Amino acid sequence: MRLKADHPLLARPVRPWAAMLLACCTVVVVVLGVLVAHHSRIDGVDKEIDSWVIRSLGGHKSLLRWLATPAELLPAGLTSLIMVAACLVTGRLKGAVLAATAVPIASALCDSLIKPLVHRRDLAYPSGHVTSILALSAMLTALLVLPPQPLIEGRARLLIPLTASVLACGVAIAVIGLRWHYFTDTIGGAAAGAGTVCALALVLDLPAVSSRLETPTDWLLSRAPASRRSRPARPPSQQKRTRRRPD
């Protein structure tokens, strides 16, 4: 399968919506970050929702830890690697780049940039677990549902965002129930994860980036046949001559 550096990640009608979603996610992350900076919580929203989740599920620690599992390093990393392999097999270099970078970049932005800037006391803003699961979910949606030629056809495409939403909600409930994060931390994490994938997809679809990806694409194409290339045919002078039987 030939790798394509110019294969778009997002269909043309989807790109304006992705840009608007990126803008909304940025606003959410910034506004909530300003509101909770150097504070322990927002009394109104956090108090009501957190108390309800803790009362309802606080006693089910094993269930909550199980709900938080999809956002852990091993499941998220393994899923990303599977998508990298699937994109390379189907010849989608941009998809492989997105699958390889979505969760690591979102996690790095969350842990190394946003958390130190906001410096929320007691618990951290935003939630790293929710950031990871939303980045993973958005990446799967972008690769399997949104491209002009998606990897999954038919009604099965609807299962991807639906399953992703259920997993994300489960992780958000888990980190609140386990008292790892407040509700506003999960909202900020969701915005950070989804916004990161939108930004990456839009950047990878830029013509300038597509042209720069042509060099590694050509390199991969030049390397791939080397491992599969059969032994070169011997020159005619070294080939054994076959004797013809007389008629």
Is the Cβ–Cβ distance between 148 and 8 less than 8 Å?
Answer: yes
In this structure, what token pair is assigned to residue 94? Answer: 């941009």
Q: Which residue has the tokens 């506004």?
A: 31
**Residue 62: exposure state from Cβ atoms within 10 A (0-12, 13-18, ≥19):** exposed
> Residue 176's pLDDT is what?
94
User: Is residue 107 within 8 Å of 101, Cβ to Cβ?
Assistant: no
- In this prediction, residue 223 carries a pLDDT of 53
Burial state string for 115-142 with b = 16 or more CB within 10 A and e = fewer than 16: beebebeebbbbbbbbbbbbbbbbbbbb
pLDDT bucket at 216, cuts 50 / 70 / 90: low
Predicted confidence (pLDDT) per residue in 171-188, tens digit: 999 999 999 999 999 999
Measured between alpha carbons, how far is 51 from 189 in angstroms, rounded to an integer?
20
Angle CA 200–186–78, to nearest 5: 55
Q: What is the pLDDT of residue 30?
A: 95
Is 80 exceeded by the pLDDT of residue 156?
A: no
